[in-house]
Amino acid sequence: MPSFGPILQELQGPALREAVDGLPGHQKTVAIVLSIAMFLVVVELVRKRKLREEYSLVWMLTAFALLVLAIQHRLLNVVRDLVGAVESTSALFFGALVFLMLLSLQFSVRLSKLTFRNRTLSQRVALLEDEIDNLRAGRGGSDRAASDRAAAEPRDGDAGAA
Amino acid sequence: MSGPRDLIQSVVVIVPARNEADRIGAVLDAVRRAAPAARIAVIDDGSEDDTGAVARAHGAQVLRHPFTLGYGAALQTGYHWALRQRFTRLVQLDADGQHDPASIPSLLAALDAGAQLVLGSRYLDPATTPRTSFARRMGSRFFAFVVSRWTGTRITDPTSGYQAMDRRVVERLALDDFPEDFPDSDVLIALAREGVRFAEVPVQMRERLGGVSMHRGGRIAYYAYKMALTLSLLPVRRSSPFRAGRELARAGAD
């Protein structure tokens, strides 16, 4: 087997030597602009009441983390070495990826909860409609009066069946 | 409130249905013939056709989901409904005509003989065993083996939706952790761990009168995955953190 060692060294060498401290100039600018834009968009969405405060937190934290990492060379270097990346840029991307994974997981958990609530609510609607129908049929009179009574004393429906 | 009504309502039949307008009428008529005194509820799981109207015309109570929630959720709505009635025994069967209502008396007889949950099995009697694909037969065998081992009872058809149960089992199944898609092997094992007594009686499954089977294509793979996951988590899983269904069940049981 031919030795790939020198070739690999040749390929890796420059990259290792050039491992930059923090981000190169324009990448740093992009990261800073991106984080500020993210911050502004989140604030705007909360202002318009399109994003709930509880969900805004994770986004704010991300924007903040992005900003800090872009500005603080040393912190980004720590992250870079921690994940074993060569380029600081990759470290930043890696961080973003981890964040997105956490966010999706959070959404999946919320979805599970909402799915469950949705199911329970729909089942309850089906049962209540059935009870209202029974009340109307049982009491006669105008439908209007029956449904008013049903709305006024929902507990009565339960007791009637039991 | 007591008297003859108690007797009339001592058996309830629940029939989850979705887009079965063409088939459900005949099924309900057959249920009526097999169990004349039973109260029948059809759970219309968000049908786009006249399933609900047809069921009502054939004398069933109709509970309608505002949109499709799934087969298991429809069954559970039926359990909640049943708990609001006076009943001692519940029968569930599919609306597509696969489950012959003529078997209802034999399911009920097995309940009376001491079982708490009776499964209508299409594999118990070789004469009635339907011809299915090899993969499906292997899958069925595998789950039958697993369930039999865990429950200590010989179960040949754990995926059967044709069942009869007593009130205690219905109360248990009305709880939150009841799956909304494929309630079978995992539910049986959970019940067995809680001491429920099982029995199986042979039933003949008729060819589907149309419609689409639940177990098909990609859903089979998902089914296998889900069963593997829920079965392996069964001993260590926490009970559902949600309370709503539990309260719903309690309100019905009061």
pLDDT at residue B56 in the model: 94
- Confidence grade of residue A28 (pLDDT, cut at 50, 70, 90): confident
pLDDT at residue A83 in the model: 85
Q: How many domains does chain B have?
A: 1
From the CA of B6, how many Å to the nearest CA of chain A? 11
B250, closest residue in chain A (CA to CA): A158
Structural domain contains residue B214 = yes
The answer to ipTM > 0.85 is no
Q: Which two tokens stand for residue B52?
A: 């609900």
Tens digits of residue pLDDT in B9-52: 489 999 999 999 999 999 999 999 999 989 999 999 999 999 99
Beta strands (DSSP E) in A2-110 are none
Q: Are B231 and B186 in contact (CB under 8 A)?
A: yes
The C-alpha atoms of residue B147 and residue B198 are separated, in whole angstroms, by 11
Structural domain contains residue B3 = no
Judge whether B243 is closer than 8 Å to chain A, CB to CB.
Answer: no
Structural domain contains residue B1 = no
Structural domain contains residue B78 = yes
pLDDT at residue A25 in the model: 78
Tens digits of residue pLDDT in A91-110: 888 888 888 888 889 889 98
Q: In this model, does residue A124 exceed pLDDT 50?
A: yes
The share of chain B scoring above pLDDT 90, in percent, equals 45
Judge whether B19 is closer than 8 Å to chain A, CB to CB.
Answer: no
pLDDT at residue B208 in the model: 59
Q: How many other β-carbons are positioned within 10 Å of the β-carbon of residue A7?
A: 10
Which element (helix H / strand E) includes B232? helix B218-233
- CATH number of the domain that B208 lies in? 3.90.550.10
- Confidence grade of residue A150 (pLDDT, cut at 50, 70, 90): very low
Q: What is the mean pLDDT of residues B165-179?
A: 88
- Confidence grade of residue B149 (pLDDT, cut at 50, 70, 90): confident
Judge whether A151 is closer than 8 Å to chain B, CB to CB.
Answer: no
pLDDT at residue B64 in the model: 95
From the CA of B45, how many Å to the nearest CA of chain A? 10
pLDDT at residue B61 in the model: 93
- Confidence grade of residue A10 (pLDDT, cut at 50, 70, 90): low
Q: Are B5 and B33 in contact (CB under 8 A)?
A: no
Q: Write the CB contacts of A130 (distance below 8 Å, at least 6 apart in sequence).
A: B61, B62, B63, B81
Token pair 């597509």 is at which residue?
B96
Cα end-to-end distance, chain A, whole Å: 83
From its phi and psi, is residue B195 left (phi > 0), alpha (psi between -120 and 50) or beta? left
Q: Are A59 and A80 in contact (CB under 8 A)?
A: no
- Confidence grade of residue B66 (pLDDT, cut at 50, 70, 90): very high
B71, closest residue in chain A (CA to CA): A119
pLDDT at residue B124 in the model: 82
Q: Identify which of B160, B183, B149 has the alpha carbon closest to the alpha carbon of residue B76.
A: B183
For chain B, give the mean pLDDT.
82
The C-alpha atoms of residue A149 and residue A136 are separated, in whole angstroms, by 9
Q: In this model, does residue B119 exceed pLDDT 80?
A: yes
Structural domain contains residue B73 = yes
**For the ranges A23-37, A60-74, B157-171, B183-197, the one whose mean pLDDT is highest:** B157-171
Q: Which two tokens stand for residue B138?
A: 């292997």
Q: What is the mean pLDDT of residues B98-102?
A: 92
From the CA of B74, how many Å to the nearest CA of chain A? 8
- Confidence grade of residue B194 (pLDDT, cut at 50, 70, 90): confident
Q: How many CB pairs under 8 A join A and B?
A: 59
Token pair 């909304």 is at which residue?
B180
Q: In this model, does residue A23 exceed pLDDT 80?
A: no
Tens digits of residue pLDDT in B214-244: 555 667 777 778 777 877 777 777 665 544 4
Which element (helix H / strand E) includes B17? strand B11-17
pLDDT at residue B236 in the model: 73
Amino acid sitting at position B225: Y
Q: Which domain holds residue B183?
A: 8-253
Q: In this model, does residue B114 exceed pLDDT 60?
A: yes
The share of chain B scoring above pLDDT 70, in percent, equals 82
Judge whether B207 is closer than 8 Å to chain A, CB to CB.
Answer: no
Structural domain contains residue B15 = yes
